[in-house]
C-alpha cells in the first residue's frame, strides 16, 4: 500500500527512542515497502532536543519515511495513528517511593490513554515500553474504554530476547536454533523466564540443559537482573536492545509469528493459566494479522507455577495501588 502508516512514539527525544526511530524509518517495523509517517511526542522542555533528532532523521534520507510531525499535545500527535509506541515515562529518581512513581506515571498514562481513545485510528495497536510497563499499559487501557482491550500490550520481549541469548550460550547454539521461549508475569525482577517448553534444535531445552542449579542460580537471576547489570556496566540503562525488542514485539504482532514458534507479550489476561482476568501479564502468544492468541494447554510444573504466581501477585499489588490512587 502507498498510504503511510502513522506510527506514534512517545519519549521521542529519549535514549530508547534514539535507537528506535531510525529503525522504524528504515522499514524494520513495517517492512521496506510500507511508507511510515512518524508522530513524535515529547514534553515541552524536550522539544528542542527532539528537533535535533528530526534533523538527523531527515539527514538519513530514508526512502520509506513519508513525514514527521512532532509536538507536546497527545491529542494532536495521536490523531489518526495506527501504531502507538509508548516509550516515554517518568524514571524513578533517587529517594522516590514506589507510590510516587506510580502516581507520576499514572498521570502520563491516563492522559495518553484518553488521547488515544479519542483520536487514534480504529485499527490502532499500542505497545507500552515505558516502566512500569505492565501497569502503565493497564492504566492506559482502562482510560481508553472505546479501544478493544486486546489492542494494548506491554513489552516483555527484551526479557524474552535476553533469555534466548543466555540459553543459546549455555547450549552452545545460535539463538536461531531456539524456539518457544516464554516470559511469564511482570516486566520486573519477579518475571519468570521458562525454558521447560522451549526447544533447542527441536529438543526440549530443559532436558538438553539438564542443569536445575544453572537454571535457578544462574539463568533466572541473570535474565531477571540484566537491566541492572547493564546500568552497572554502561552507566546508562539499556536503550538499543530495548529499541530492538520494541520493534520485534510490534513487528511480530502486526506481521505474525513464525509457524511452530511463539513470542512473549504482556497482554490482557482472559484468566488463562490462573492469571486474574484483566491484568496485563506476560504470556506465550502466537500472532497473525495484528491479533494475538495466548498459547493454551501448556503443563506447568510446581517450580514454574510458584514463580508465575509470585510475579502475577506483584501485578495484582500494582493494580491495587493504582486503583487506590484513583488511576483506574
Could you list the active site residues?
A: 187
Residue span 207-246 as binding mask against ligand NAI, x where in contact by CB under 6 A, dash where not: ------------------------------xxx--x----
Residue span 140-159 as binding mask against ligand NAI, x where in contact by CB under 6 A, dash where not: ---------------x--x-
Instruction: Check if the beta carbon of residue 50 is closer than 8 Å to that of residue 39.
Output: no
The C-alpha cell at 226 is 540484566
Of 65, 68, 85, 133, the residue at the interface with ligand NAI (CB under 6 A) is 133
Q: Which uninterrupted H or E stretch holds 194?
A: strand 192-194
Could you tell me which stretch among 11-19, 168-176, 203-211, 309-317 binds ligand NAI (CB under 6 A)? 11-19
Could you tell me which stretch among 23-31, 93-101, 124-132, 307-315 binds ligand NAI (CB under 6 A)? 124-132
129 binds ligand NAI per the rule CB under 6 A: yes
30 binds ligand NAI per the rule CB under 6 A: no
Q: How far is the CB of 239 from ligand NAI (least distance, A)?
A: 5
Instruction: Check if the beta carbon of residue 300 is closer than 8 Å to that of residue 186.
Output: no
108 binds ligand NAI per the rule CB under 6 A: yes
Distance CA 287, CA 293 (A): 6
In 187-240, at which residue ranges do the beta strands (DSSP E only) sit? 192-194, 199-200, 203-204
235-267 exposure pattern, b = at least 16 Cβ within 10 A, e = fewer: eeebbebbbbbbbbbbbbbbeebeeeebbbbbb
Cα of 286 vs its chain's centroid, Å? 15
Whose Cβ is closer to ligand NAI: residue 95's or residue 297's? Answer: 95
Whose Cβ is closer to ligand NAI: residue 108's or residue 200's? Answer: 108
Site for ligand NAI in 163-202 (CB under 6 A): 187
Distance CA 120, CA 24 (A): 19
Is position 210 annotated in a ligand binding site? no
The C-alpha cell at 4 is 503511510
295 binds ligand NAI per the rule CB under 6 A: no
Q: Are strands 178-179 and 83-86 parallel, antiparallel or unpaired?
A: unpaired
7 binds ligand NAI per the rule CB under 6 A: no
Whose Cβ is closer to ligand NAI: residue 201's or residue 228's? Answer: 228
Q: Please, which residues have CB within 8 angstroms of residue 174's CB and are 6 or more apart in sequence?
A: 168
Is position 162 annotated in a ligand binding site? yes
Could you tell me which stretch among 37-45, 59-67, 167-175, 268-276 binds ligand NAI (CB under 6 A)? 37-45
Is position 266 annotated in a ligand binding site? no
Whose Cβ is closer to ligand NAI: residue 70's or residue 208's? Answer: 70
Q: Which residue is nearest to ligand NAI (CB)?
A: 14
Is position 166 annotated in a ligand binding site? no
Terminal C-alpha separation, the chain: 38
Distance CA 292, CA 289 (A): 8
CA nearest to 44, candidates 21, 71, 8, 14: 71
Q: What is the DSSP letter of 216?
A: I
CA nearest to 271, candidates 290, 296, 249: 296
20 binds ligand NAI per the rule CB under 6 A: no
Q: Which residues are annotated as a binding site for NAD(+)?
A: 11-17, 105, 112, 129-131
Residues in the annotated binding site for substrate: 92, 98, 131, 162
Q: Which residues bind ligand NAI (CB under 6 A)?
A: 10-11, 13-17, 41-43, 46, 87-91, 108, 129-131, 133, 155, 158, 187, 237-239, 242
Amino acid at each position: 500500500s502507498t498510504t503511510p502508516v502513522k506510527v506514534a512514539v512517545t519519549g521521542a527525544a529519549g535514549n530508547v527512542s534514539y535507537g528506535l526511530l531510525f529503525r522504524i524509518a528504515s522499514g524494520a517495523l513495517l517492512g521496506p515497502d510500507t511508507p511510515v509517517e512518524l508522530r513524535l511526542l515529547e514534553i515541552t522542555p524536550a522539544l528542542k532536543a527532539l528537533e535535533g533528532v528530526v534533523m538527523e532523521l531527515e539527514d538519513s534520507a530514508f526512502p520509506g519515511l513519508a513525514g514527521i510531525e512532532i509536538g507536546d499535545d497527545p491529542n494532536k500527535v495521536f490523531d489518526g495513528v495506527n501504531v502507538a509506541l509508548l516509550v516515554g515515562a517518568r524514571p524513578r529518581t533517587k529517594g522516590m517511593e514506589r507510590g510516587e512513581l506510580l502516581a507520576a506515571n499514572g498521570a502520563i498514562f491516563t492522559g495518553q490513554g484518553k488521547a488515544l481513545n479519542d483520536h487514534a485510528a480504529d485499527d490502532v495497536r499500542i505497545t507500552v515500553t515505558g516502566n512500569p510497563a505492565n501497569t502503565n499499559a493497564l492504566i492506559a487501557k482502562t482510560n481508553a474504554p472505546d479501544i478493544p482491550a486486546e489492542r494494548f500490550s506491554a513489552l516483555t520481549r527484551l526479557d524474552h530476547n535476553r533469555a534466548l541469548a543466555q540459553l543459546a550460550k549455555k547450549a552452545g547454539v545460535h539463538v536461531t536454533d531456539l524456539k518457544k521461549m516464554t516470559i511469564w508475569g511482570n516486566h520486573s525482577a519477579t518475571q519468570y523466564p521458562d525454558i521447560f517448553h522451549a526447544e533447542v534444535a527441536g529438543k526440549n531445552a530443559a532436558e538438553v540443559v539438564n542443569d536445575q542449579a544453572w537454571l535457578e542460580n544462574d539463568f533466572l537471576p541473570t535474565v531477571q537482573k540484566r537491566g541492572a547489570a547493564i546500568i552497572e556496566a554502561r552507566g546508562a540503562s539499556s536503550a538499543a536492545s530495548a529499541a530492538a525488542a520494541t520493534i520485534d514485539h510490534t513487528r511480530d504482532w502486526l506481521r505474525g509469528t513464525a509457524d511452530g514458534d511463539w513470542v512473549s507479550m504482556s497482554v490482557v489476561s482472559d484468566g488463562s493459566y490462573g492469571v486474574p482476568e484483566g491484568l496485563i501479564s506476560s504470556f506465550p502468544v502466537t500472532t497473525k494479522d495484528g491479533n494475538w492468541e495466548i498459547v493454551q494447554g501448556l503443563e506447568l510444573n510446581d517450580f514454574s507455577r510458584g514463580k508465575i504466581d509470585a510475579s502475577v501477585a506483584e501485578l495484582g499489588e500494582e493494580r491495587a495501588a493504582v486503583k487506590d490512587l484513583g488511576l483506574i
